Amino acid sequence: MFVRGFTFAGQTELSDAYFNATPLLEVVWRLALDAFVTTWVAIVVISLLQCFFIRFTAASPGIYPSHGLKGALLIYRMNMMNSIQRLWGWTITGQYMRALAGMKFSRVGASECDLMFNLIPEVATADAGVFWSNGCFTNVLDYGAKHFQLRQLDMPTEFLQW
């Protein structure tokens, strides 16, 4: 049998009995289900770890040299936040991920903040009545040849509403 090559020596009798008694469709179904659950849990755990990394390497508003560890860390964190937001989008999970990464909401899950490119979460605040369209760019980090400028972004009640 094909599976016999993947079992430990001395354990082939157990696997042989299992595969003789279990229909192939059930084995395939269990493997597919386990692969799906494992993949989903891995994506959530990796996203959580990335949000914790972003939160615990927070920066304050100011000017940072573009050549050096602090500038590279700012760009890396911004790109990591972009990938998290692309993955989770506008969903409630996406808002919780942004909040976990350090963005301050007056009420998590109550705003209409969607995917915000180039976000540095610890310098952004959003009220519950804020609407932010999908794919908009923030200007919290301005790039220069020699320096990056990190600015505060405050979105009060009814920010960008008509």
Distance CA 156, CA 125 (A): 8
Using a cut of 0.85, tell me whether the model's pTM lies above it.
Answer: no
Say if 2 falls within a structural domain: no
In tens, the pLDDT along 115-150 reads 788 889 999 888 877 777 677 788 888 888 899 999
Residues of the chain below pLDDT 50: none
Percent of the chain with pLDDT over 90: 41
Say if 3 falls within a structural domain: no
The DSSP line for 108-137 is TTSSEE--EET--GGGEEE-TT-EE-TTEE
Distance CA 70, CA 52 (A): 18
Q: What per-residue confidence (pLDDT) applies to 140?
A: 87
Say if 24 falls within a structural domain: yes
Say if 162 falls within a structural domain: no
In tens, the pLDDT along 53-62 reads 999 999 999 9
